Amino acid sequence: MFNTLNGDSNVAFFKEYKNAGLTAAAMPVVSVSIAEEEVGGVGVDNLVGQLTAWNYYQTIDSPANKAFVAAFKAKYGQARVTSDPMEAAYTSLFLWKAMVEKAKSFQTDDIRNAAAGVSHAAPEGTVTVNGENHHIAKTALIGKVAPDGLIYTVWSSGSPIEPDPFLRGYDWAKGLSG
């Protein structure tokens, strides 16, 4: 099952999924909007073994991520967890800082012109701003929800994927991208 539900609907969905007698072994669900933060609200029991697709998990084993997680827990409490949207917000600020330093200016136009190729060693790994569309190249991950409520990587693209927001690299999208 490919699950594009967002927000509270996921809670109702996974509760009904379990009530219908389905399990991750019988019919696995790949969700695109479930992070560590949501696991607590849906209930670990309802999610164990399910897959998620995202760019960051708290369990990423790197010095940058360990420092990020430790600093986050020190500030907000040991029981809290980090998630992809948090990491993305955190990283975006460092990217902006790098752009300002490169542009040596706070003017929006100067920063935009300096954005191309700006890179940062984020908790998720190195991310780089694409000069053409200003999206960032990120590493794609697929993770599995474990009984401890955290998500562990089971597949990784290995290296960052160049952003393709206008679907130029897909044969089936020819004629759509214009």
Choice from 5, 24, 33, 43 touching another protein (CB under 8 A): 43
Closest to 54 measured CA to CA, from 135, 121, 148, 152: 152
52 by Cβ neighbours in 10 Å (0-12 / 13-18 / 19+) ranks as: buried
The residues in 46-105 that bind another protein, with binding defined as CB under 8 A, are none
Number of neighbours of residue 93 by Cβ within 10 angstroms: 10
Choice from 6, 23, 28, 41 touching another protein (CB under 8 A): 41
Choice from 23, 27, 45, 133 touching another protein (CB under 8 A): 45
The phi, psi pair for 146, rounded to 5°, reads: -105, 165
- Residues in Cβ contact with 58 at an 8 Å cutoff, skipping those fewer than 6 apart: 36, 65, 69, 81, 82, 83, 150, 151
When asked if residue 164 is in the footprint of another protein (CB under 8 A), the reply is no
When asked if residue 42 is in the footprint of another protein (CB under 8 A), the reply is yes
Taking the least distance from each CB to another protein, the nearer of 44 and 137 is 44
When asked if residue 21 is in the footprint of another protein (CB under 8 A), the reply is yes
Q: Which DSSP state fits 161?
A: B
When asked if residue 11 is in the footprint of another protein (CB under 8 A), the reply is yes
When asked if residue 132 is in the footprint of another protein (CB under 8 A), the reply is no
In Å, how far are 54, 161, 162 from 157, measured between CA atoms? 11, 8, 11
Choice from 3, 29, 34, 38 touching another protein (CB under 8 A): 38
Q: What kind and span of H or E run contains 140?
A: none
Taking the least distance from each CB to another protein, the nearer of 21 and 158 is 21
Choice from 44, 53, 98, 111 touching another protein (CB under 8 A): 44
* Interacting residue ranges for another protein, rule: CB under 8 A: 8, 11-12, 15-16, 18-21, 37-38, 40-45
